[in-house]
Structure 1
Amino acid sequence: MAFAVSGVRDLSHGDARGWFGVGFGVLFGVLGLLGLVGVVLMGRLSRSGAVGASAAFAQTTEPPRPRRDWGPIG
């Protein structure tokens, strides 16, 4: 962000070296946004995968016992 701001300031003062700052600012900004999107997507995928894995694990361990709706025995 600082590169882009200083580059725009330099360009507004007529200094052509401001393109360097603008270029680096845009490059780091795009890479930062892509990294943030990747982290968010990985978090969502890991949460959805963990729920599915635990449900599959619960199904493979032991089938549910039948309910006795006729009351207590004894």
Structure 2
Amino acid sequence: YWASELAASGTSLGDKFKIVAQNLAQNESAIVAQINTAQGRKVDIGGYYKPDDKKASAAMRPSAIFNQILQNQIL
């Protein structure tokens, strides 16, 4: 929803988020399904005090669609 609000702000930053907002809205149900699927199961992140960066990142970013939308729109 943050992308929608930025897109509607009428600012130059908002202009950059229009595509992000559209992509997120079009893929909302798939993104939510991917995040919900990841809920409630144990995940090995390679340690408690010093987790493995790749494992922790994969566990904290379970939606491939969401990740791709953000990756394509890095400002």
Name the one with the larger helix percent.
1
Higher relative contact order (CA 8 A, sep 6+): 2
Q: Do both proteins adopt the same fold according to a TM-score greater than 0.5, normalized to the shorter chain?
A: no
Larger gyration radius, structure 1 or structure 2 = 1
Shorter-chain TM band:
0.3 to 0.5
TM-score when normalising by structure 1: 0.33
